[in-house]
A and B are shown apart, each in its own frame.
Chain A
Amino acid sequence: MKYDDKNERFFKNIASLYAEKEGGLLKEELAELEKENDIQYSPHLDRKIKNRILSLKMRKLSYALVPVAACFLLLAVYFGSLPANNRPNGTPIADNAPADSGSPIAQATAPAAPHSTPAISAELLSARLPYGYEITEVDYDKEKTIFHIINDTNNEIVLTMEEAAGQIAKNAFQEIVVNNTPVYGLVKKDYSVITYEKDDILYTLTSKYNYKDLIEISKNLI
């Protein structure tokens, strides 16, 4: 069968006609189903799909943050390898030099916190959540612990905990203070984010609907 524009147009026409006709019949079928109302489905289906889509979005956000984290890492390695005048006996700065907390560079080269994976059990976290919030799932992704939280209005919140790698990239965020701790928030049309650092752990809370839920949770956790 030789390739021919005419043939391709013919196949395109019949395929389009077929899809149109099939779609029409399916719509009639749907109208009948709406009347009969005998399809059973559980609320788990809605939640399952929402969670999967939120995970897809979080993954995309993570991919976007990787180059930023890589830049900070490069800066840390670069400045860490520079010879310093106040380095006692040639030992690396990171050992004993007190960090100048006003300088981002100093923060990037400050002594690393003891290496520890954020280890908080779901039970312990659950006890600290506000009333009406519960943990539905816990995921682990390399150094991150991801808690899926839901409240009594069915709003889903994702809490990610990971070891704080350095300064929070807060360019687009608005700073507020919660329980004397600076917290950085961002509200977009289809999601909200709050992030803050406490005890060398970076907390990131994300929700599709309600920014206030994120504040509510962070008040209990900080």
Chain B
Amino acid sequence: MIIFLSFETESDKFKFEHIYGKYKKLLLFKAYNILRDYTLAEDAVSEAFIRIYKNLDKIEDADSNKTVSFLVTIVKNTSLTILSRQKTGSTVTLEDYDEKDDSDLEELVLSEAAAENILKIVDTLKDELKTPFLLKYAHDLSHKEIARILNISENNVTVRIHRAKKKLAELLRKEGNVYEI
């Protein structure tokens, strides 16, 4: 029973508090940018931090760039979920939001297949494909874990990752056929 009671280590507690204190402002900013409402932004951040708390073991270094990217990915997802719930009666979907996002990113794509260019190509992916792709390949999460974080089915995760890879392969081939995928 004592083991059951000790369900959180001191380092976990410190890690979470450190992440919360350091990145709360940034996550609120990102959520507000999507939702344009402070109350909804707080709800999105609150939900994001609960998901982060449940997946604390996935975060190795709380100060790394990868961790920041991971945190923002989660809050963007919770914000977009709230946004899609808010837009009742309209046909606005996450894809529609991503299309608006894409139009700002297209100009960043260059013609040469350099590493920088590849990153920009990744950036052109729609969020609904990019997010599960990054969670799997950059943060080493399983499909099941991704499904839990994004609140979608495992099957959906598999399909989206497959589409992301296919889209990336297509875009990379267009850029110069350097990578055989």
Write the residues of chain A forming the contact surface with B, with a CB cutoff of 8 angstroms: 1, 4, 7, 10-12, 14-24, 26-27, 29-30, 33-34, 39-42, 44-45, 48-49, 52-53, 56-57, 60-61, 63-65, 68, 169, 171-172, 186, 188-190
Contacts and interface: CB of A to CB of B under 8 A. Distances in A.
Nearest to A38: B29
Contacts of B20: 49
A171 B119 contact: no
B123 interface: yes
Interface residues of B, number: 50
A11 B165 contact: yes
B1 A57 contact: no
Interface in B49-69: 49-50, 53-54, 64-69
A184 to B, nearest CB: 13
B104 interface: no
Interface in B1-36: 1-2, 4-8, 10, 13, 20, 23-26, 28-29, 32
Interface hub of B28, B136, B138, B165 (most chain A Cβ within 10 A): B138
A135 to B, nearest CB: 21
B23 A30 contact: yes
A101 B137 CA distance: 62
B38 A41 contact: yes
B139 A61 contact: no
Contact of B7 (A41, A45, A60): A60
B72 interface: yes
